[in-house]
Amino acid sequence: MKWHHFLLDLSVTLLLWCYYTLGFVLFFAPFYFWVYCFAKKRRTAFQKLNHIFYKGFFGLIKLLIPSCRWKIPEAVRKIHSSVIVCNHRSYIDPILLISIYERHTTIAKARLFGIPVLGTILSLSGYIPSTGRGRFADLMVDRIEGMDGFLASGGNLFIFPEGTRSRDGRIGSLNKGAFKLAKMCKAPIKVLFIENTDKLFKPGKFLLNAHRPNTVTVALVAEMDPDYRSDQFSINGLMAEVHALLEKKYR
């Protein structure tokens, strides 16, 4: 890497981390505190603040990295009351979806709920711990029991069923959790495919790639409304269909 490319990548990365840390403390923390103390619908308000915070984060990326283009069609932005399943390429994938959907919830690693401040925000935002064992059991049960009402009110549950980032873009095996929740709530499923977030923020790297032109795309691959009551319905069959759709998009 040429030295001026390195300096550009380093400068952009540090500015974005400043937004992520100092920006949160100075500009967003007071709003979170106010919502915590006074909001009647605290969970909805926390989700909206998360949405605004990350929308600002990606707005800053667009300002600092004009060579990175973004293609997110209106059909993606208008999704509501659905279980969204998506491939996973980079750490920024979850926060990108938060920046798109104001009403949202997702599954987060259980260990994150134990981190001061962050864990509180995750819990108050209605996010779901990835394990129901130990001290997170009651929290997971509460979230799942309320999922019907959340989806019915217009919210989205987004999940990366591969469970981890793909290092080469190939689609890994899918976990059943997202599909079991969709069946439990009788919810439609939207299949999204994200491309090139790994080129912007490569797994295993600290610096964002700010010097190389790139186009990040979020595509709506399929809208599915399974007949969950049918004798022919199978979660394994549904998973295989979604996996095939993602594989076809990858190729």
Q: Which residues contact 118 (CB under 8 A, 6 or more apart)?
A: 112
Tell me the C-alpha distance between 79 and 220, whole Å. Answer: 10
Neighbours of 156 (CB within 10 A): 22
Burial tier of 149 (Cβ tally within 10 Å: 0-12, 13-18, 19+): exposed
The one-digit pLDDT tens for each residue of the chain (251 residues) are 688 899 999 999 999 999 999 999 999 999 999 999 999 999 999 999 999 999 999 999 999 999 999 999 999 999 999 999 999 999 999 999 999 999 999 998 888 888 888 999 999 999 998 876 777 778 888 888 899 999 999 999 999 999 888 888 889 999 998 999 999 999 999 999 999 999 999 988 899 999 999 999 999 999 999 999 999 999 999 999 999 999 998 87
Task: With both helix axes pointing from N to C terminus, report the angle between 42-64 and 3-18 in degrees, rounded to the nearest 10.
Answer: 160
Identify the architecture of domain 3-250 in CATH: 3-Layer(aba) Sandwich (3.40)
Taking 3-state DSSP, the helix, strand and coil percentages for the chain, each rounded to the nearest 5, stand at 50, 15, 35
Query: How many Cα atoms occupy the beta-carbon half-sphere of 236 within 13 Å?
Result: 0
d(C-alpha 116, C-alpha 114), whole Å? 6
CB within 8 A of 137, min separation 6: which ones? none
Question: Would you state the structure tokens that stand for residue 155, as one six-digit string?
Answer: 């919210």
CA distance 92 to 63: 17
Give kind and range of the element (H or E) at residue 173: none
Whole-model pTM? 0.95
* 135, burial (CB in 10 Å: exposed 0-12, middle 13-18, buried 19+): exposed
